[in-house]
Amino acid sequence: MTHQLEIRNLHATVGDTEILKGINLIVPRGELHAIMGPNGNGKSTLAKVIVGDPEYTVTQGEVLVDGQNILEMEPDERARLGVFLAFQYPVEIPGVTIANFLRLAMQARKAEGEEVSFTEFYGKLQSALKTLEWDESIVERYLNAGFSGGEKKRNEILQMLMLEPNYIIMDETDSGLDVDALKIVARGVNSMRGPSLGGLIITHYQRLLDYIVPDKVHIIVNGKVVQTGGPELAKKLDSEGYDWVKELATA
Amino acid sequence: MTINPEVNEINKEYEYGWSNPERYAVKAPKGLRRDVVEMISRAKDEPQWMLDFRLKALDIFYSKPMPTWGADLSGLNLDEIYYYIKPEGANARSWDDVPDDVKQTFERLGIPEAERAALAGVGAQYESEMVYHNLKEEWEKLGVVFLSIEDGLKEYPELFREHFATIVPPEDNKFAAINSAVWSGGSFVYVPKGVKVDIPLQTYFRINAESSGQFERTLIIIDEGAQAHYIEGCTAPAYSSDSFHSGVIEIVVKEGARFRYSTIQNWSHNVYNLVTQRAAVYAGGVMEWVDGNLGSKVTMKYPACYLLEEGARGEVLSIAMAGRGQHQDAGAKIVHFAPNTSGTIVSKSISKDSGRSSYRGLVKIYEGARGSQTNVECDALLLDDEARTDTYPYIEIEEKDARVGHEATVSKINDEQILYLQSRGLSEDEAAGLIVRGFIEPIAKELPLEYAVELNRLIELEMEGSVG
Ligand SMILES: Nc1ncnc2c1ncn2[C@@H]1O[C@H](COP(=O)(O)OP(=O)(O)OP(=O)(O)O)[C@@H](O)[C@H]1O
Ligand SMILES: [Mg+2]
């Protein structure tokens, strides 16, 4: 079995509009790849198609997780395979505490008849909260309800630490974070890094990539990967902007 | 124990739909008639004033038209109902004296375990009579009274007569008149001055016979500075013909007292549930209604707080869930008679399939009730396109120095929320269930833990397979 996330010639539409126009990407476990590109060019769409948002229709191509095509699976089956998206805009679920939700999400990954034990849950929670420098009282709050932008992002990382995915997709987790929070979030991600974790980090800014150094950088323009390179590519975008890549896309 | 196959369809997820064979000491003939009223009074060996009261109420009932402003009651045929059924072995103090089949019924419903658990006292009503009532000794010693309403009338005639029908008179509405004529069963509670009963009293209501009615009458008096919490639960078998439940609950909350009345109504989907609940609240007293309406075919129920003296406070928290063929017309009534009185109404409804839920609420502030205020919040959640919800807020303010706030929201289960939860590993059904639980959480958290768990469990049962 190939331990990688592979996206093959992926086309996706919303209504009559094609947004993804043949994306090709391979992310082996052990690597984190940055995805960059101008606004409105399909980065979030790619992330949501991978997790199975029914809003989008896949018209061509495949998404393979460890060799298995996941496109016919429900979003929860994909999650149980170890795919995790830290959303660009996490939604609010009033009345459901983070603690309760985390327990249910952990339980959902267990085999029939197996229970999440209190020690397992509480032990993980303690260490995740410590990494994120968050007070325990946060887990008694309702999921994202009334959270600041930064708190919502941090909460995505809390879930990621608790659920221990194999493939993470972070959609602009850095936007809206102050400098200190950015470091904390990066620390959380780096603490999970290792040979069994792969992932995509969608961002507009080099400053996140200073902390989470990517193995590769891909640029998406108009629904396609138009350029791939090493960490230096992100630095080039930071100083020169996107004009030159947009030209690549039309060339 | 049998389940009628015809109603199996609508009651397919109703777990309390079985019934016992009928064995009764007394079963009055069908219909609301003078001789039935006299028979009830005779069976209870009542004083003359009560028989007179019943007969007057019967006349009031005849003179009042059926209400047409609320839910559709055209399917309710009052002539086809049995108004009085006395089970064998009514009114035991010891669980051992309750007849076996009745005992088994309540055992299946978990009642004796509930008593052993954290309850101060337990009552059980089967058909028209309380079959069991018991208060733990420690509370009895403090002078707390928890009896069937009949025993209340016998043992505390003066206290009873001082308050009975003063809060909900028979003239109030047609169903209060029916109840006043044929009432039977219910609780009589008195908590003496300053006594704080810190664990709940509970009564459980069960209708067993087909086409029957239950007309319990409850009178609760919380004396100055006292506190208590009373919980009622109800179920019935799933018959194809309709049953009828019309209770009257009267509550007196005296100066500085505090009382909460919680209901988890889970009648089978063939029951018309038309109930009048009202509390009179005196200076600085606090009355809270927590009302969960999950079952029944039609419910019309608007728990009321009459804030009679300065500083009185009333709260109504209600949850309604309406599925296929159900109409929950529920709400609240807060009436301010005195200065600096305050109220809160929080109503949450969930509708699915062709179910319909309506919020109907009255807030009235009389002239002179200066500095008074009530806030109303009603939120409706629709689970699909067939479901329906309406809001009928009535606000009457005669006093300039008073305020009523009203906020209403209607939402549909949101696809983005479902995706978010699914992307963390929850199935679509689990995700929808969790969102619904979150929606009612502000009310569920007011219930003792076991009841909150039960409420959530009932809602989950109703929710199964409802999204997609
Ligand atoms: N559900 C939708 N309905 C209609 N249009 C959509 C929908 N989702 C995405 N789009 C459109 O698809 C295009 C790509 O959107 P997407 O969110 O993937 O961009 P992005 O690259 O993530 O941009 P940003 O950097 O601003 O986050 C945009 O034009 C957007 O308006
Ligand atoms: Mg985006």
Instruction: Break chain B into its structural domains and give their ranges.
Output: 1-258
Sign of CA dihedral B108, B198, B452, B356: positive
- Compare A226 and B233 and report the one with higher pLDDT: A226
- Encode pLDDT of B26-54 as tens digits: 888 899 999 999 999 999 999 999 999 99
Contacts of B350 in chain A (CB under 8 A): none
ipTM: 0.96
- CB proximity list for B362: less than 8 A, separation 6 or greater: B302, B331, B332, B333, B334, B335, B394, B395, B396
- Encode pLDDT of B309-326 as tens digits: 999 999 999 999 999 999
pLDDT at B444: 87
Closest CA to ligand 1's atom 30: A40
A124 C-alpha to ligand 2 centroid (Å): 30
- Encode pLDDT of B193-233 as tens digits: 999 999 999 888 888 888 889 999 999 999 999 999 999 98
pLDDT at B21: 79
Are residues A95 and B438, on separate chains, in Cβ contact within 8 Å?
yes
pLDDT exceeds 80 at position B12: no
pLDDT at B205: 87
Considering only CB atoms, B424 lies closest to which of A74, A94, A163, namely A163
User: Is B439 an interface residue toward A (CB < 8 Å)?
Assistant: yes
A16 C-alpha to ligand 1 centroid (Å): 14
Ligand 1 atom with the shortest distance to the CA of A46: 18
Contacts of B414 in chain A (CB under 8 A): 91
Ligand 1 binding pocket (C-beta < 6 A) is A 14, 19, 37, 39-45, 55
User: Is A147 an interface residue toward B (CB < 8 Å)?
Assistant: no
Query: Which of A65, A85, A93, A157 is the best substitution to test chain B (most B C-beta atoms within 10 A)?
Result: A93
Mean pLDDT value of segment B297-307: 97
The vertex-A33 CA angle with A31 and A39, nearest 5°, equals 165
User: Is B437 an interface residue toward A (CB < 8 Å)?
Assistant: yes
Considering only CB atoms, A95 lies closest to which of B416, B425, B437, namely B437
C-alpha radius of gyration, chain B, whole number: 21
Mean pLDDT value of segment A65-82: 97
pLDDT at A1: 66
Closest CA to ligand 1's atom 25: A39
User: Is A120 an interface residue toward B (CB < 8 Å)?
Assistant: no
Q: Tokens 């602009």 identify what position?
A: A172
Average pLDDT, chain A: 95
Sequential DSSP letters for B392-427: EEEEEE--SSEEEEEEEEEEE--HHHHHHHHTTT--
Pairing label, strands B342-351, B372-382: parallel
Contacts of B437 in chain A (CB under 8 A): 95-96
Mean pLDDT value of segment A53-69: 97
CA distance A229 to chain B (A): 30
Q: How far is CA A111 from CA A106, A107, B74, in A?
A: 11, 8, 51
Distance CA B468, CA B371 (A): 49
CA distance B137 to chain A (A): 38
Q: Tokens 């509009």 identify what position?
A: A17
Sign of CA dihedral A13, A19, A24, A30: negative
* Within a domain: A124: no
Compute CA A111 distance to the chain's CA centroid, rounded to the nearest angstrom.
25
Nearest to A183, CA basis, from A160, A157, A162, A165: A157
Sign of CA dihedral A80, A81, A85, A86: positive
Q: How many domains does chain A have?
A: 1
* Within a domain: A41: yes
pLDDT at A34: 98
A19 C-alpha to ligand 1 centroid (Å): 8
Average pLDDT, chain B: 90
Label residue B452 by pLDDT band (50, 70, 90): confident
pLDDT exceeds 60 at position B7: no
Nearest CA in chain A to B444: A95
Ligand 1 atom with the shortest distance to the CA of A55: 1
Ligand 1 atom with the shortest distance to the CA of A42: 18
Q: Which of A29-33, A167-171, B85-89 has the lowest mean pLDDT?
A: B85-89
pLDDT at B65: 92
Are residues A52 and B422, on separate chains, in Cβ contact within 8 Å?
yes
- Compare B277 and B101 and report the one with higher pLDDT: B277
Distance CA A132, CA A186 (A): 9
Q: Tokens 């309540």 identify what position?
A: B106
In the chain, the amino acid numbered B106 is F
pLDDT at B117: 65
pLDDT at B3: 39
Angle between helices B174-182 and B48-63 (to 10 degrees): 150
Q: Report the C-alpha dihedral over residues B392, B378, B420, A210, rounded to 10 degrees.
A: 130
Are residues A87 and B420, on separate chains, in Cβ contact within 8 Å?
yes
What is the percentage of chain B residues whose pLDDT exceeds 90?
65
pLDDT at A123: 96
- Encode pLDDT of B242-253 as tens digits: 899 999 999 999
User: Is B113 an interface residue toward A (CB < 8 Å)?
Assistant: no
pLDDT exceeds 90 at position B23: no
B446 C-alpha to ligand 2 centroid (Å): 41
Are residues A104 and B416, on separate chains, in Cβ contact within 8 Å?
no
Size of interface A-B (CB pairs under 8 A): 80
Label residue B395 by pLDDT band (50, 70, 90): very high
Reduce the secondary structure of B425-453 to three states and give it as a string: CCCHHHHHHHHHHHHHHHHHCCCCHHHHH
User: Is B435 an interface residue toward A (CB < 8 Å)?
Assistant: yes
- Compare B444 and A91 and report the one with higher pLDDT: A91
pLDDT at B53: 98
Domain hosting residue A80, numbered range: 4-90+166-250
Label residue A112 by pLDDT band (50, 70, 90): confident
pLDDT exceeds 80 at position B257: yes
pLDDT at B112: 65
pLDDT exceeds 50 at position B468: no
Q: Which of B7-16, B95-104, B188-197 has the lowest mean pLDDT?
A: B7-16
Q: Report the C-alpha dihedral over residues A84, A87, A91, A94, rounded to 10 degrees.
A: 50
Closest CA to ligand 1's atom 8: A45
> Can you give the CATH number for the domain in which A84 is found?
3.40.50.300
**Could you tell me how many helices (H) and strands (E) chain A has, helices first?**
9, 10
Number of other residues whose CB lies within 10 A of the CB of residue B108: 13
pLDDT exceeds 70 at position B13: no
pLDDT exceeds 50 at position B8: no
- CB proximity list for A160: less than 8 A, separation 6 or greater: A84, A86, A168, A188, A189, A192
User: Is A55 an interface residue toward B (CB < 8 Å)?
Assistant: yes
Are residues B439 and A163, on separate chains, in Cβ contact within 8 Å?
no
- Compare B7 and B381 and report the one with higher pLDDT: B381
The vertex-A115 CA angle with A113 and A120, nearest 5°, equals 155
Distance CA B380, CA B438 (A): 13
- Compare B79 and B118 and report the one with higher pLDDT: B79
B residues 408-427 near A, CB within 8 Å? 414-417, 419-427
Nearest to B328, CA basis, from B406, B394, B275, B376: B275
